[in-house]
């Protein structure tokens, strides 16, 4: 069944409609994550303790949210 379908499907459609977009997407993902990895490695190289930098990057947003949200304690 699939062999008949592939015989009827033009080669240019396989090339431009399936192979090129998938290949381009994979190359873009590789480039994006490579850039993110390089940026992270540069930040870790500058810091005195790489574990401290990793901790700050993971938990900085949570501590900033706590710092900027007003405390609402109910009094009776």
Could you report the per-residue pLDDT of 25-47, keeping only the tens digit for each? 999 999 999 999 999 888 878 76
Instruction: Report yes or no on 75 lying in a domain.
Output: no
CA 40 to chain centre: 13
Average pLDDT estimate for 45-63: 72
Distance, in Å, from the CA atom of 14 to the CA atom of 12, rounded to the nearest integer, reads 5
Cβ proximity of 44 and 54 under 8 Å? yes
Number of domains in the chain: 1
Instruction: Report yes or no on 7 lying in a domain.
Output: yes
Domain, as residue range, for 63: 2-67
- pTM, entire model: 0.51
């Amino acid at each position: 069944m699939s062999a008949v379908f592939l015989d009827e499907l033009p080669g240019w459609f396989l090339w431009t409609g399936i192979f090129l977009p998938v290949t381009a997407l994979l190359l873009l993902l590789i480039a994006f994550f490579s850039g993110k990895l390089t940026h992270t490695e540069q930040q870790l190289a500058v810091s005195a303790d790489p574990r401290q930098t990793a901790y700050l990057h993971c938990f900085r947003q949570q501590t900033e949210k706590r710092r900027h949200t007003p405390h609402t304690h109910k009094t009776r």
